[in-house]
Structure 1
Amino acid sequence: MVFPVWPCAPRRAVFQMTALVLAGVTWCGGMGTGAQEPADPARARQKAFRVAALAYGVPEKVLLAVSYLESRWDANQGVPSVTGGYGPMHLTDARTALRGRTPPVPAGPDLQRVDEAARLTGLPGERLITDPDANVLGGAALLATYQRELGGRPVSDPAAWYDAVARYAGTGAGQGFADEVFAVLRSGASRVTDDGQRVTLARLGGITPPVSGDGPRVASPAARERQSAPARLGEGRDVECPRGVECEWLPAPYERLPGGKYGNHDVADRPRDQSIDYIVLHDTEATYAQTLKMVADPAYVSWHYTIRSADGHIAQHVRTKDVAWHSGNWYVNAHSIGIEHEGFLAKAGAWYTEAMYRSSARLVRYLARRFGVPLDRAHILGHDNVPGTVPSAVAGMHVDPGPYWDWGHYFALLGRPVRATGGRDAGLVTIRTDYPRYRPRFTGCGGVDCPPHGSASVWLHTAPSDDAPLVRDVGRRPTGETTYDVYDHGARATTGQRFAVAGRRGDWTAVWYLGQLAWFHNPTNRPTAVETEGFVVTPRRGLDVVPVYGRAYPERGAYPKGVPVQDVTPLQYAFPRGQRYAVGRATRGEYFHANTPDPEEHRVVRGRVVYFQIQFGHRVAFVKASDVRVLRPDSTTG
């Protein structure tokens, strides 16, 4: 027999309590009622939250808000998150999720929540993983247990559950997670989940969390611990983070190494000496703990921030004024801030937590405002959008964060949702998939097809048919065909990216892509792109082919004595006459010369040649302004 956490609940097994709730029984001094409602399959998850809240004495809105921060109420088809969490409540089971990984990832208490939930509910761990309703019960049981252990009571006031919510983050530093949960409580939320469930959290206006800028207003042990801990929030002197986001300073080493080398970043004075034009998003392909070990290695590369999956906690490693070595493209490094997100592109999971999305979006909004970075896909790049610098580097460029990163949701959190800005004759389309329900095929997940999952990417074919071959990327696979492998983006376009329309046929739209005509399925009743306005470039008159570059470096005459000239080498692609590509930005050639640890010896070389950045394929590229003409895409000239 399994008993609920709180003595006020009837001594029944969980399945018996569930039956009582559905029959309309009320308990726990008015904590809630289970009034009978007409059966609606699309509202089953909403009822599951009500049942679990009543069974364990947790305020229903708190349970809904915690689940929203973990999974946005999605079931995720039983696929684990990037940190081994399952279901709407993100119950972690590292033994199952990370099975077969090399090296094996140890399963600590934060990575093995399923066991604790199984003990509390009496439900088998397998059911807690695979059954969304059971998963919600397990999450409620955990919250109730944390509330009791922290000295709280099962009261109906959501504000009294702040510390239990922080503990649910599971890392010992969940204040930022709890603050986001309370932000969701204040704003409310409503959506249709990935499995068609309609879930609503009505806004709870006026709720005040027990922690604010003035410090804790509750006396629980966790709150007292936070009060005595060193300040690590955005207003602290060591970190560059927005207020209200949990952030700490864990510096990357800047050391001289044997052989005259040094690591692992360059001291600079940005934006005074160089503008910051990009923010590059990565995933770690490692756990948070493993990632912190890597950034502490002076012989390894570096990045500016790492964000933890479980609760969105941020660690800063390199100051934004300095240049980190993160993107594989020195020009982009010199003009960017790199942010790593704990996770695996495919091997250990396919979805990222809402807590990490929201924390990342807050950080990017803060950085974009501070440095004037436009919030669009020409400036907010994935590592997989950064071009190789020379032909030999293209094939080895990284492919994270991959097709499962929800760019549409991310830009909505940034306050710049992807929307139509033009009519059908505008001449440009911006990719925008219906992420939860758009589930294209991917292979390469442990030697088998990846489980069906929402994606922000569309496949590009050589003809308007699913049976047609995928377009080729001669840089990534010089002698082979593009595949459906999750790590092969040679024929993919992703939400937020803009392309010039090259044709339409039925439910298919063609765009110019890597010098080719590329078709993607774009049915009227379920579109995967929206019409947008903007500018395009096309080869100037007299040029049959325009060179495409992976970096915007100055002309030879701009280099002073003592600074080696960097060749401006075209990539292996062709941009032929008659094709058009969307313009992202214009910039003059620039090179940051830094090959010693002494910043006094660094030089910034600025040229006169102007480049346009274009969306050439899955990655961006550069063309010289002197080689092209800028047009409205609906122009008939050129």
Structure 2
Amino acid sequence: MRYLSGTAALVVLALMIPTAPGAAGVRRDGSGGRQEAFAQAARDYGVPESVLLAVSYLESRWDRNGGLPSVSGGYGPMHLVDAGLVGTRPAAPGERREGAAAGSGDRHGHHHGGHHGDGEDPRGDETRPLARPAAVPAPAAAPPEDTLRLASRLTGISPERLRDDPSANIRGGAALLADYRRRTGGEPGGAPADWYGAVARYSGSDDAGAAAAFADEVYATIRTGAARTTDDGEPVALPPDPSAVPPAPLTADLSGRLGLRRTAATPGPDCPPSVSCSWLPAPYKRLGKKGRYGNHDRYPGSRKIDYIVIHDGEGGYRSMVNAVRNPRYLSWHFTLRSGDGRIAQHLRAQDVGWHAGNWDVNSRSIGLEHEGYLAKGGAWYTEAMYRASAKLVRHLAGKYRVPLDRAHIVGHDNVPGTTRATVRGMHTDPGPYWDWERYFQLLGRPLSRAVRKGGRSVLILPRYAANRQRFTGCGGSGACPPQGASTVWLRTRPSADAPLVKDVGRHPKGRSTLSVYDHAARASAGQRYALAERRGDWTAIWYLGQRAWFHDPRGARTSARASGPLVTPRPGLSSVRLYGRAYPEPSAYPAGVKRQKLAPLQYAFRAGQRYSVGMSLRGSYLSAVTFDTAKHRVVVGDTVYHQIQFGHRFMFVRASDVVVVRS
């Protein structure tokens, strides 16, 4: 590839930036725009412009985020941290933390920090239900550097303006980088590669490995370049500079040069070498004399991994890491930190975590918990965390042969309830603000790869930034701030005034709501559904046993045609039963292992309807009801199931009940 330099590359990249609705001429700060704000701040403080742009990209993708703080307490394009917010969740007046009354749809299972959701047993196995986990107080943490107020002292700009004004925020970030450069003995100016130490310090990490991983990602961004339109309509571009390669000595000993601690080597965290990862094991321990134990299970033999489950933790990194190391609490495999993408591993892939609320899914999955909050604003799942998470998932998927698609890389909100009684209380994270399209781009498997002209399936594919759906439940007046989302609303008729479709499991007596916590009438990016009908600017899919309509206008599509296997009830059946887990037939269980009931859910898959197939598998069950792993048994039957995209959550049908139709 022939690289352009300087202005020429900038012009080419700028022409590639998609224009957001209403973006033309938008200048919230009254200046020449965000691009000029970066250029001016870089000149004034002697910071290479590419360094300033790339650091901001890793922190916020240049977004303003509506003036709201991240989970790390950072504000604006440069993520200036207000240390007084760290460890707390700033809530709007009147915001509900646990959700509203039963049936409202404003219910979310906060399963860390002592907030376990009503109705969901994280182990998901009624043969050994898990009691409500005890609250686990987080240890006192050393406060992070208050970069917001440090930037205020360096620039003379008030903290309030640094929070609210993107141009001022960029100046504050430039002043910080210049200050960090001076602290390491450097001078203003110079080549971008000379600023590696300052960039690593800017990560805010207290760990040398995490700081280096952040800096490495910044310099990779400088080398490749980037261009996009921000959440408030500002076009910004970073021209590629392949020469930005820091000399090896700069990366060799950040702990000594920057005063950061260096994490001791641990026995092999299962992470790729390009991320910062530590081994902080969850305990496998007896609890009392009644056969109880925690906080995970050991799998006999070689465990097949079918899913990687994406969670948000509804809490901070330190509280989550502290909680998972308590034998009386829950467990998952990895925790990811927002500010710098730091990863902690708690379980080996061979171990079964208690995280998804469905024993069948738990026994076949790896769980990733991300620092963050479902209703706090999706843009503050930071770019650093998205990138670290995608690198980890790509590594795990390759090692354990997990396909990189939305049938196997799933959200906790896609996991089905195990019985009729548990459907209503299943968790709803990571929610509509997790950018699935962006995530799969980082995984190297863009969702658009599944697009096929003329297919009889529909792939949900809204443009995240422009897809500003209305949600309630974020606090204050009840309306969530306007921002991008990865989901579309589903209605009973092709009209914006039509009611939302009904979910008889989630709302047995009520209606679906617009709550950010209510997934009952939503389809998410990357999910494939059978096409039912099209009328004008509306498309209908088969969803929860009914036609469900979403707005899909010409020129601004929120879906794309796709192909793949579909299933329909076999001739002679008026309806097909659906299951929340793929358990074997009763005759498959050996003596001494309790037979698991094949409990159908409250939904109906009727003749004439079609649903997409994600995978096919033989029914299996892991019997693990004692601490003695020698007594754990894996039961595999002959019954074959198809995993289908029946609603927002996937479900299972017996292969003998349906006919596969190629699309």
TM-score range, shorter chain: 0.7 to 0.9
Secondary structure at the counterpart of residue 164 of structure 1:
helix
Find the counterpart in structure 2 of residue 470 from structure 1. Answer: 500
My pick for the range that moved more, 611-620 or 192-201, is 192-201
CA deviations 1:223-253 (Å, max 9, x no partner) are 4867x93555xxx633110012100011111
Find the counterpart in structure 2 of residue 461 from structure 1. Answer: 491
My pick for the range that moved more, 613-622 or 420-429, is 420-429
Find the counterpart in structure 1 of residue 299 from structure 2. Answer: 268
Map 1:218-617 → 2, pairs under 5 A: 222-223=256-257, 229-230=262-263, 232=265, 237-258=267-288, 259-269=290-300, 272-347=301-376, 351-419=380-448, 421=450, 425-447=454-476, 448-617=478-647
Q: CA deviation at 1:185?
A: 1.3
Partner residue of 1:98 out of 84, 89, 93: 89
Q: CA deviation at 1:108?
A: 6.3
Secondary structure at the counterpart of residue 614 of structure 1:
strand
The answer as to 2:193 corresponding to 1:163 is: no
Secondary structure at the counterpart of residue 348 of structure 2:
coil
Find the counterpart in structure 1 of residue 102 from structure 2. Answer: none
User: Residues of 2 paired with 1:40 and 1:239: CA distance?
Assistant: 49
- Paired residue type of 1:164: A
Distance change in 2, residues 1:544/1:75 (3 Å): same
Question: Does the 8 Å contact 1:361/1:413 carry over to 2?
Answer: yes
Secondary structure at the counterpart of residue 340 of structure 1:
strand
CA deviations 1:360-414 (Å, max 9, x no partner) are 0000000000010000000000000000111111111111011000000000000
Distance change in 2, residues 1:465/1:93 (3 Å): farther
Question: Does the 8 Å contact 1:80/1:349 carry over to 2?
Answer: no
Question: Does the 8 Å contact 1:91/1:139 carry over to 2?
Answer: yes
- Paired residue type of 1:617: G
Find the counterpart in structure 2 of residue 89 from structure 1. Answer: 78
My pick for the range that moved more, 540-549 or 90-99, is 90-99
Q: CA deviation at 1:221?
A: 6.0
User: Residues of 1 paired with 2:320 and 2:430: CA distance?
Assistant: 15
Q: CA deviation at 1:598?
A: 1.6
Find the counterpart in structure 1 of residue 42 from structure 2. Answer: 53
- Paired residue type of 1:388: G
Find the counterpart in structure 2 of residue 628 from structure 1. Answer: 658
Question: Does the 8 Å contact 1:344/1:350 carry over to 2?
Answer: no
Query: Relative contact order: is structure 1 or structure 2 higher (C-alpha 8 Å, sep ≥ 6)?
Result: 2
Secondary structure at the counterpart of residue 622 of structure 2:
strand
- Paired residue type of 1:62: V
Secondary structure at the counterpart of residue 419 of structure 1:
helix
Secondary structure at the counterpart of residue 166 of structure 1:
helix
Number of corresponding residues: 586
- Paired residue type of 1:246: S
Question: Does the 8 Å contact 2:378/2:433 carry over to 1?
Answer: no
User: Residues of 2 paired with 1:111 and 1:400: CA distance?
Assistant: 30
Q: CA deviation at 1:138?
A: 1.1
Question: Does the 8 Å contact 1:71/1:353 carry over to 2?
Answer: yes
Q: CA deviation at 1:85?
A: 2.1
Question: Does the 8 Å contact 1:614/1:620 carry over to 2?
Answer: yes
Distance change in 2, residues 1:205/1:422 (3 Å): closer
The answer as to 2:158 corresponding to 1:124 is: yes
Distance change in 2, residues 1:277/1:142 (3 Å): same
Q: CA deviation at 1:210?
A: 4.1
User: Residues of 2 paired with 1:59 and 1:163: CA distance?
Assistant: 14
Q: CA deviation at 1:574?
A: 0.9
My pick for the range that moved more, 602-611 or 251-260, is 251-260
User: Residues of 1 paired with 2:90 and 2:492: CA distance?
Assistant: 38
User: Residues of 2 paired with 1:512 and 1:150: CA distance?
Assistant: 60
User: Residues of 2 paired with 1:59 and 1:617: CA distance?
Assistant: 49
Partner residue of 2:236 out of 196, 199, 215: 199
Secondary structure at the counterpart of residue 447 of structure 2:
coil
Give the TM-score normalised by the residue count of structure 1: 0.88
Question: Does the 8 Å contact 1:89/1:139 carry over to 2?
Answer: yes
CA deviations 1:546-579 (Å, max 9, x no partner) are 0010000000000001100011100111111111
Q: CA deviation at 1:425?
A: 3.2
Partner residue of 2:173 out of 119, 139, 148: 139
Question: Does the 8 Å contact 2:580/2:600 carry over to 1?
Answer: yes
User: Residues of 2 paired with 1:350 and 1:179: CA distance?
Assistant: 22
User: Residues of 2 paired with 1:421 and 1:333: CA distance?
Assistant: 27
CA deviations 1:118-176 (Å, max 9, x no partner) are 22211122211111111111111111122222333323222222122112111212221
User: Residues of 2 paired with 1:301 and 1:219: CA distance?
Assistant: 37
Question: Does the 8 Å contact 2:473/2:515 carry over to 1?
Answer: yes
Secondary structure at the counterpart of residue 634 of structure 2:
strand
CA deviations 1:446-498 (Å, max 9, x no partner) are 25201001100100001111111101111111111000000001000010000
Q: CA deviation at 1:40?
A: 7.1
User: Residues of 2 paired with 1:425 and 1:117: CA distance?
Assistant: 55
Q: CA deviation at 1:439?
A: 0.7
- Paired residue type of 1:328: G
Distance change in 2, residues 1:480/1:184 (3 Å): same
Find the counterpart in structure 2 of residue 113 from structure 1. Answer: 147
Gaps of 5+ in 2: 1-23, 98-112, 114-136
CA deviations 1:196-222 (Å, max 9, x no partner) are 2221111121332345xxx75567664
User: Residues of 1 paired with 2:508 and 2:254: CA distance?
Assistant: 62
- Paired residue type of 2:90: R
User: Residues of 1 paired with 2:378 and 2:582: CA distance?
Assistant: 36
User: Residues of 2 paired with 1:111 and 1:465: CA distance?
Assistant: 51
- Paired residue type of 1:442: F
- Paired residue type of 1:265: H
- Paired residue type of 1:169: S
Question: Does the 8 Å contact 1:536/1:582 carry over to 2?
Answer: yes
User: Residues of 2 paired with 1:159 and 1:315: CA distance?
Assistant: 29
Question: Does the 8 Å contact 1:238/1:249 carry over to 2?
Answer: yes
Gaps of 5+ in 1: 1-38, 634-638
Question: Does the 8 Å contact 1:459/1:492 carry over to 2?
Answer: yes
Distance change in 2, residues 1:165/1:505 (3 Å): same
My pick for the range that moved more, 529-538 or 121-130, is 121-130
User: Residues of 1 paired with 2:183 and 2:513: CA distance?
Assistant: 52
Q: CA RMSD in A?
A: 2.2
Distance change in 2, residues 1:192/1:107 (3 Å): farther
Question: Does the 8 Å contact 1:431/1:498 carry over to 2?
Answer: yes
Question: Does the 8 Å contact 1:365/1:414 carry over to 2?
Answer: yes
User: Residues of 1 paired with 2:439 and 2:605: CA distance?
Assistant: 31
Give the TM-score normalised by the residue count of structure 2: 0.85
Find the counterpart in structure 2 of residue 73 from structure 1. Answer: 62
Q: CA deviation at 1:357?
A: 0.3
Percent of aligned pairs with the same residue? 57
Q: CA deviation at 1:284?
A: 0.7
Distance change in 2, residues 1:107/1:519 (3 Å): farther
Q: CA deviation at 1:111?
A: 7.2
Secondary structure at the counterpart of residue 410 of structure 2:
strand
Question: Does the 8 Å contact 1:216/1:224 carry over to 2?
Answer: no
Secondary structure at the counterpart of residue 491 of structure 2:
coil
